Structure formats: structure tokens, C-alpha cells
Chain A
Amino acid sequence: MKKYDMKILKVDLTACGYETQLLDERTARGYLGGRGLGTKILYDEQPAGVDPLSPENIIVFATGPLTGTRTPSSGRHFVVSKSPATGGITFTSSGGTWSAELRKAGYDAIVVKGTAERPVYLWIEDGDVELRDAGSFWGKLVSETDEGIRKETHNEAKVLCIGPAGEKRLSIAAIMNEKYRAAGRTGLGAVMGSKNLKAIAVKGEKNIEVADGIGLSRAVNKAMKKISESGVTKEDGGLNAYGTAVLTNIMNASGIYPTKNFQTGTFSDAENISGERMAETILKEKTACYECPIECGRWVDVKSGKYSGVKGESLEYETSWAFGGQCGVNDLGALAKANYLCNEYGLDTISTGSTIGFAMELVDRGIISKDEAGLDLVFGNDEAMIKMIEMMGRREGFGAILADGTRAASKRIGRGSEYYAMQVKGLELPAYDPRGAFGLGLNFATANRGGCHVSGYTIAAEILGVPLKADPFDSTEKKVDLTILFQNLTASVDSSVNCLFLTFALGADDYADMIRYVTGWQNYSSEEFLATGERIFALERLFNKREGFGRKDDTLPQRLLKEPMPEGAPKGKSHPLEGMLDRYYVRRGYDTEGHPEQETLKRLGLA
């Protein structure tokens, strides 16, 4: 049986050197990889109070035991660091094939610290590591960087890079890979930019070996059967047929499609920017990540209207909302153009669109003037929205005010604008109004990286009825427990590393089976798998506690707590956070400040 090892490449950009390290089995089993491994490294190796954009901040690029194996949907990687947007620990992830290629090139994770004297990129080929000059790529857009680096290295290399937004250290800068894939949230593109690290290119031929190939085949066959039978993940199911934007009409019908900066939950033009409409108009073909049977990716090609000629990948639900409902724009072509620009500048689409929608509301309310904005920045003005993306990406004009997201922008603007900043812990909220999904609101408030839906996607149960149905307006202990379960399972899956979409078809048993056969760990069970997620979530809490986070940070924007939803099914509802939060801390074994109690730490092996 092949022994499972995790090989970590540790790069010090200040010293211009590197070393390799094999991870001990106890840490590998306790934290898996991806989000868990990154969190463990940050917690152990980084003291409190480090400036996220200083050389001392560590940034970890991590795969997991399942990555690049023949387990389904195993083409994701995680990036973990201290976020310039939130000031706390964060993870962000992306799909594609970069992660599998990194493992084939001989490494399971890369840990980077320090700052290079000049712009560099890291080139890893079949175990060989080289830091190369990136001077000629500095200032270039993402596609130019990707193509240029592949020309300099290997045409089939997989390139992860930042665009101008990361170089200019925007707190909403993404880390892109393979041109169109984004580890978008929480501004880690800025951390790469602060280190003068433009890109990491990888190429390898190594076999990704597993401990028990026959056992893994059995587990994969079982998983594939479930995937092919699930209404969500099967071929020609909703995700395959319409991509993630299949959610647009459903969230709008449920009255939780945030519209014009969360002023309401119903957008009259939602149908025009839905996944169904996309399939009828601009969809060219479906795309997939490494070993993924779902194929939820979309390649779009705008063939008519003023955005004719725009093409590109990954016009997701969140992106189409951020520039659609959030900004009051109803033209799919404009959304495709906005997505294209964010990909090229290396910007998080959610935070970019959310911040522009925030500014539009400030103009609407007369808090800022159109002259101050430098554009006719009003809801529904697609051209002003498009122009503002470029201004933000370059930190130009009023774009410089908005470039670091809504929390920073509201501090710069003042005049009561912070009330309209729809963010938690400095991270802009995504495309669900929690006044109509109380579990998701609790998750938004408590997610360790800030206003994040994928930390605990209770929408699956509250709105979509998958894998069980939960009343969206229930705020009892039952809903609190459901939210905790989603958060723990997610942290486990994020560390395995696998795509969360498979959780719509697979359970903890399936993951535990696949991990056991890949690693050869005796008696690895679903209980151990779930406990890993709970441990990781608590360790993130400990990191944030060290940075001064507490109950005051586990909250929601005042609008969602005070203003009743004006229409739709959630009409009259605001979010009942306080009571839910009390119950949440008790059920988690945290104190009233939201910090894990000593007994909880002992139970999780953290004390």
C-alpha cells in the first residue's frame, strides 16, 4: 500500500529561496488539506497583528487528499491567508485544473512568505522550482499574463495569477487561474500583489498515487451512481442545463433576490438575466473543472446588441446578480462584459458589483453627487457600471474610493454611508437576502471570513429543499443546528478538497470512504470527517480571537435587522439575529463572545 504523504513547498520571497517539507500524519489527518491545512499553518506560524499586506503575512495555496485523483469534481484549490478586507483569517477557492497540475508537478501545497524585491513568478515543473522575473508581466491583464507566461514556460502549463487589481492591492482583488477561474473573495489578490508575486505556473507528469486503488474505484463508482441519480447533479439536471444562474428566477420568486443594494428582494427584470434566458441567448457551450461530471461552467458569446462580441467563461449566478439585480441592470450582454472585465483586472465579481450598487444607492439618496462620482452612477445605467469597474481596477477617480469594498468606501465617504454598506466583517454579502432565509443570515453573521454564503449554504434546505426541507422563517434551535451542520460539513469538504456542489448528491460517508482509500488511514469514518470540519471552524475562530474579533463582529448590516422586507414572501420580516446567535454560541460550545470554551477546545483536540 502506497504511503500517503503531503509535500509542501515553502517559499521565502525576501530571501529568494525555498525548501520542501513533508507534513506529519497527525496534522494531515487532523486538518486534511485545503482550507484546514492553510488555517493550521497560519495559526501556528503567524503572530497576531500582522499587516495583511506586509511581508510577514503568509499565504498558502493548498490542495487536499482528493485533489487530482479520479474522485469526481476534485479540481479545486484553496488559498488561505489573513485578509486585507476583513483583517481576519480567510480562505478562498477556485476550480479548473491548476490544482491537479500542481500535484502532478510534485507538490500538494505552497506556503509563501516575504516580499520579492522585484515582480516575480514561480515556475514549478516536475518538482523543479524556479523564481523568474515577472517585470514584463507587471501591469498586464490576466489573459495577457496567462498567455505570456505559458509562452515563456510551457504551452500546457497552468497559470494562476493576479491582474492589475492585485498589483494595486485592492481589498477586492481576486486570484485568477486559467484566465477565467477566480479565487475571488476577501482580497487575496492584494496579498500576492504586496509580495510582488505575479503568478504561479505549474506543469507536471507525475502520477497522483493512492493507497488503495481498488477500494477507491469502488467508492468512486458508488459516488458516481449517486451523482447520476441526483436531480441536482445528474446529466441534464438543472445545474448542467442552466449553470448556477438557474437560481435567479427561484430566488426572485422566493423574494430573496437582493435588489438595488438590498432595498427589496424582488427584481422585476430577473427573467431577462436568468440562467434560462442565458441558455436561450448567449450560451455557447458548457464547461467543466477537472474530473467533474456536472459541467456547470458556461462559455458565453454575445452575438447582438451593444455588447456584441463579448465572450468568456464563468458568468455565474453570483456574478449575474452582482451586476444585475444589485445594480438594476437587465442586459445579459452588459453582465457578460462586466464579468469579462473583472476576470481581466482580477476582481471579485461579488464585491465589485456590490460596491457599485452601494454607490448607486448613495447617489440615489443624494449622499454623493453624480459630479463626485464622476459618472451618471444610477441604478440601471449599465454603461456607468462598466466604466466604474475599470476605474476601480485601476484605482482611478471615484473608483479609488470604491476600490477596497463597501466598508472602506463608507469610511472614506462618511455622511452616514456605512448604513448602506451591505457587508459583514468587511466582506460584501452575496446574492441572498437573509430576511427570507434565517439560517443563511445566521451563517452570514458567523462565517469566519465574513459575509459568505458558501461557509454554510443553508439555502439548499431553506429554499431549494435539498437534501431536506427547512422552513426559511424558522429561527429555533433546529435551524441553528442545521446551520452548524452545514458549516462543519463545508469546512470538511473544503479541506478534502472537493467541490461543494457534490454535497447535493453525496454524504459524509461517501467522503470518508474516498479519503480512507486515498490515504490508507485505518478506520477513517464519517464522524472523524465531520469532526475535522468542526475543528477547523473553531481554529479559524481562535485565529480571529487573537486579532480582536468577538460578538460585535458576528452581526448583519443594520438594514437587514431593522428594515422589514417591503414585498414578496418575506414581506414584513427582518432578521431575528440576536436570539439565534445566543443559541448558536451555546450549541457550538462557545462563550458569549463567540470564542470556543476550553472544554470545546479539548473535545476538538485544540487544547
Chain B
Amino acid sequence: MVIVKFFSTLRNITEVREAIIEQEGSVYDILNALLSNYGDLKEAIFDEKGDIYINILLNGRNIEYLNGPATMVSQHDTLYLFPPIAGG
């Protein structure tokens, strides 16, 4: 079981704060599983070239500094998804 939490405007699309994905695998696998329930997220997650456009944290660490979309996600891990945002 992997928990996926949505922040900022992604939550407007999912209309829920989090989703539970009952499988393990890479971040890419989890995203694909997620899209089967929340198809509208596709446009928000990927850009025109099919690259991931949003920030994805695995247990608080950006996957950019792990193994990117190939980073493996284990049982009880949490993924946090949020679009480009700033403030301060």
C-alpha cells in the first residue's frame, strides 16, 4: 500500500487529499496506477513531451535526487505530488 497525497491545484482535479495505491513498483508505475482512477491528472503531471512536469517527493525527498521516475516505492511509503508553486 502506497499513499499518494495531493497538494495545491492538483487537489482541485482529484477532489480528494490522498489516494491509496495497492501496489509497489517504480514512481512511474505508481503514477500509471493513479491515472487509472484519476485520468484528469495526466495533463497536470506530464508536459507535451511526456516528461513529468510536477514535483514528486518520496517520503519528503524529491525524486529528482533519487532515481527519478525509476525510483522504487515500497509498502507504506508516501508520495507527495504538487505542481510548480512558490510563495514566501
* Residue ranges of A at the interface with B (Cβ–Cβ < 8 Å): 230-232, 236-239, 241-247, 249-250, 253-255, 271, 275-276, 296, 317-318, 453-454, 457, 459-460, 463-466, 469, 471-473, 500-501, 504, 568-570
The answer for the CA separation of A318 and B87 in the assembled complex, in Å, is 10
Residues facing A in B12-70 (CB within 8 A) are 12, 17, 53, 55, 57, 59-62, 64-65
Question: Quick one: given A244-B88, A453-B88, A501-B87, are A250 and B64 in contact (CB under 8 Å)?
Answer: no
> How many of B's residues come within 8 Å of A, CB to CB?
24
Q: Bound complex: CA of A49 vs CA of B32, how far in Å?
A: 64
User: Among B53, B85, B86, which residue has the most Cβ atoms of chain A within 10 A?
Assistant: B86
Task: Apart from A238-B86, A246-B7, A465-B84, list 14 A-B contacts with CB within 8 A.
Answer: A231-B83, A232-B85, A237-B9, A237-B85, A238-B8, A250-B7, A254-B57, A255-B60, A271-B17, A296-B87, A317-B87, A464-B55, A465-B55, A469-B64
Q: Which of B9, B17, B59 contacts A241 (CB 8 A)?
A: B9
CA distance A232 to B87 in the complex (A): 9
Say yes or no: A457-B85 contact (C-beta < 8 A), given A236-B9, A471-B65. Answer: no
Binding site for A on B (CB under 8 A): 5, 7-9, 11-12, 17, 53, 55, 57, 59-62, 64-65, 80, 82-88
CB-CB < 8 A to B60: which residues of A? 253-255, 568-570
Query: Nearest-CB distance from A522 to chain B (Å)?
Result: 34
Q: Closest B-chain residue to A316, C-beta based?
A: B87
Q: Are A504 and B12 in contact (CB under 8 A)?
A: no
Query: Which residues of A are found within 8 Å of B55, using beta-carbon distances?
Result: 464-465
Assess the A464–B8 pair: CB atoms within 8 A. no
Cβ of B77 to closest chain A Cβ, rounded Å: 12
Sample (30) of A-B pairs whose CB atoms are under 8 Å apart: A231-B83, A237-B9, A237-B85, A238-B9, A238-B82, A241-B9, A244-B87, A246-B7, A246-B87, A247-B88, A249-B8, A250-B85, A253-B60, A254-B60, A271-B17, A275-B8, A276-B11, A317-B87, A317-B88, A457-B88, A464-B84, A465-B64, A465-B84, A466-B84, A466-B86, A471-B62, A471-B65, A501-B86, A569-B57, A570-B60
Which chain B residue lies CB-closest to A569? B60
Nearest residue, chain A, Cβ from B5: A253
Interface centre among A232, A241, A246, A253, by most chain B C-beta atoms within 10 angstroms, is A253
Main SS class of interface, B:
loop
A237 / chain B contacts, CB cutoff of 8 Å: 9, 83, 85
- On whether the beta carbons of A466 and B7 are closer than 8 Å, the reply is no
Q: When the two chains form their complex, are residues B88 and A276 in contact, meaning their CB atoms are under 8 A apart?
A: no
A140 to chain B minimum Cβ distance, whole angstroms, is 31
**Cross-chain contact of A465 among B9, B12, B62, B80 (Cβ < 8 A):** B62
Q: How far is the CA of A570 from the CA of B69 in the complex (A)?
A: 21
Instruction: Point out the residues of chain B lying under 8 angstroms from A318, CB to CB.
Output: 88
A569 to B62 Cα, complex, angstroms: 9
Residues of B within 8 A of A238 (CB): 8-9, 82-87
By the criterion CB–CB under 8 Å, are A276 and B8 in contact? yes
Tell me the smallest distance from the CB of A478 to a CB of chain B, in Å: 13
**Are the CB atoms of A469 and B85 closer together than 8 Å?**
no
A242 to B86, CA, bound (A): 11
Are B83 and A247 in contact, CB atoms less than 8 angstroms apart?
Answer: no
Cβ contacts under 8 Å, A454 to chain B: 88
Q: What residues of chain A lie closer than 8 Å to B59, measured between beta carbons?
A: 569
The 7 closest A-B pairs by CB, nearest first: A569-B60, A231-B84, A244-B87, A238-B85, A238-B8, A253-B80, A569-B61
Say whether A239 contacts B87, CB under 8 Å: yes
Most central of B5, B11, B57, B87 by chain A CB within 10 Å: B87
Contact A247 B84 (CB under 8 A): no
Q: Which of B5, B80, B85 contacts A246 (CB 8 A)?
A: B85
In whole angstroms, how far apart are the Cα atoms of A473 and B64 in the complex? 13
Within 8 Å CB of A457, what residues of B? 88
A463 to B59, CA, bound (A): 13
B43 CB to nearest A CB, Å: 12
Question: How close is B53's CB to chain A, nearest CB, in angstroms?
Answer: 8
- Whole-angstrom distance between the alpha carbons of A454 and B64 in the complex? 25
Q: Within the complex, what minimum Cβ distance (angstroms) separates A579 from chain B?
A: 20
A231 to B64, alpha carbons, bound, how many Å?
A: 19
**Residues of B close to A276: CB separation below 8 A:** 7-8, 11, 17
B17 to chain A, nearest CB (A): 7
A40 to B46 Cα, complex, angstroms: 47
Residues of B within 8 A of A250 (CB): 7-8, 80, 82, 85
Q: Which residues of A contact B17 (CB under 8 A)?
A: 271, 276
What are the residues of chain A within 8 A of B62 when measuring CB–CB? 463, 465, 469, 471-472
In the assembled complex, the CB of A591 is this many whole angstroms from the nearest CB of chain B, namely 31
Q: Whole-angstrom distance from the CB of A243 to the nearest CB of chain B?
A: 8
Report the nearest A residue to B8, measured CB to CB. Answer: A238
Chain B residues lying within 8 Å of A317, measured Cβ to Cβ, are 87-88
Known: A253-B7, A276-B11. Contact between A247 and B61, CB under 8 A? no
- Contact B65–A232 (Cβ < 8 Å): no
CB distance from A437 to the nearest CB of B (A): 12
Smallest Cβ-Cβ distance to A248: which chain B residue? B7
Whole-angstrom distance between the Cβ of B25 and the nearest chain A Cβ: 21
With a cutoff of 8 Å between Cβ atoms, the chain A residues found around residue B12 in the complex are: 241
Closest Cβ neighbor of B80 among chain A residues:
A253
Per the bound structure, the CA–CA distance linking A310 and B16 in Å amounts to: 28
CA distance A457 to B85 in the complex (A): 13
How far is A471 from B64 in the complex, measured between Cα atoms in Å? 8
Q: Determine how close the nearest CB of chain B comes to the CB of A559; give it in whole angstroms.
A: 20
In Å, the complex CA distance between A271 and B84 comes to 19
Q: Determine which residue in A243, A244, A246, A457 has the highest number of CB atoms from chain B within 10 A of its CB, and name it.
A: A246
